[in-house]
Amino acid sequence: MDTPRHLTVLRESGTLLADAAEGRPHAHVPTCPEWNVSDLVWHVGETHHFWRSVASGEIRDPDDGYVQPERPEDEELLDWYREGLAETLTALTALDPEEPRWTWSPQKNGAFIHRRMAQETAVHAWDMLNAIGGPARLPADVASDGVDEFLTFFLGLAEMLDLPREPVGPIGAVLLTATDVDRSWSVDHTGQHWRVIQGVTRANTTVEGAASDLLLTLWRRADPDSLRITGDEQGFARFLKVAETE
């Protein structure tokens, strides 16, 4: 996905999230079990606030005087969120993809922020639709881009931040294929770090499914029941355990 598509996804998903939240501030969000609808709106709105501050150059990094906004009351929350979404779109539209910017990842430019905000908002819009019983499936191109982002940046995040992890046993090589977009990723942890290769290679475990199902499984929104797993099924279970981002 390119920057214009990321901005379109941000706008459409952000609007969808707000519209779905209307009139149900205290409804439970099953895929974010500690949150209700208002909590989810606040989280996404505050995330937008932070990244547009980075995108606009208002702050250079999280230690550069960033001030978290005060959470509005529930009756004011959606108006605050919608205004912030518009401001975020303005800031990100003005940001060149190649412009250097702080990020927590090795990719430190505008393109990372464009993609991160599109994916953050799209997955949480899915959370919202799922919470209210609406049809919830991510577009194939958005989900495929999300799988790639997850494997590229989030898979090794625990190692990068030196977070503690309990040993889970050998994982071997895992091949993931999004069948609706014919895109594959080969992942292994046979050495000291994760290695991700675009395309098909030999693997101990193969996992196939729609891009949306793959992404939702990676983000713990769905069980892997919708995926076709061959080879070492327990290896994939161990992969998911190690790939946890929290």
Give the type of residue at 199. G
User: Measured between alpha carbons, how far is 16 from 11 in angstroms, rounded to an integer?
Assistant: 9
- Give pLDDT, residue 162: 54
- Give pLDDT, residue 158: 57
Locate 192 and state its tokens.
């000291």
User: Measured between alpha carbons, how far is 211 from 217 in angstroms, rounded to an integer?
Assistant: 10
| CA-to-CA separations, 201 to 68, 137, 173, 177, in angstroms, rounded | 45, 28, 9, 11
User: Measured between alpha carbons, how far is 71 from 41 in angstroms, rounded to an integer?
Assistant: 10
Report the 10 Å Cβ neighbour count for 191. 7
User: Measured between alpha carbons, how far is 160 from 167 in angstroms, rounded to an integer?
Assistant: 17
- Give pLDDT, residue 64: 87
User: Measured between alpha carbons, how far is 81 from 91 in angstroms, rounded to an integer?
Assistant: 15
Give the end-to-end CA distance of the chain in Å, rounded to a whole number: 27
* Residue indicated by tokens 């149900």: 24
User: Measured between alpha carbons, how far is 137 from 165 in angstroms, rounded to an integer?
Assistant: 31
Q: Which of 118, 137, 117 is nearest to 127 (CA)?
A: 137
The pLDDT of 138-166, averaged and rounded, is: 81
Q: Which of 214, 204, 146, 231 is nearest to 178 (CA)?
A: 214
- Give pLDDT, residue 159: 59
What pLDDT, in 10s, does the model give residues 162-203?
Answer: 555 554 556 788 999 999 998 999 998 765 677 888 887 788
Report the 10 Å Cβ neighbour count for 76. 10
What pLDDT, in 10s, does the model give residues 70-100?
Answer: 999 999 999 999 999 999 999 999 999 999 9
Tell whether the torsion through CA atoms of 37, 40, 46 and 47 is positive or negative.
negative
* pLDDT value at 131 more than 70: yes
* pLDDT value at 129 more than 70: yes
- Give pLDDT, residue 95: 98
Of the pLDDT bands very low, low, confident and very high (cuts 50, 70, 90), residue 155 is: confident
Lowest-pLDDT choice from 31-40, 103-112, 123-132, 166-175: 166-175
Q: Going from the N-terminus, what domains does the chain have, and what CATH number goes with each?
A: 3-136 (1.20.120.450), 149-242 (3.30.1050.10)
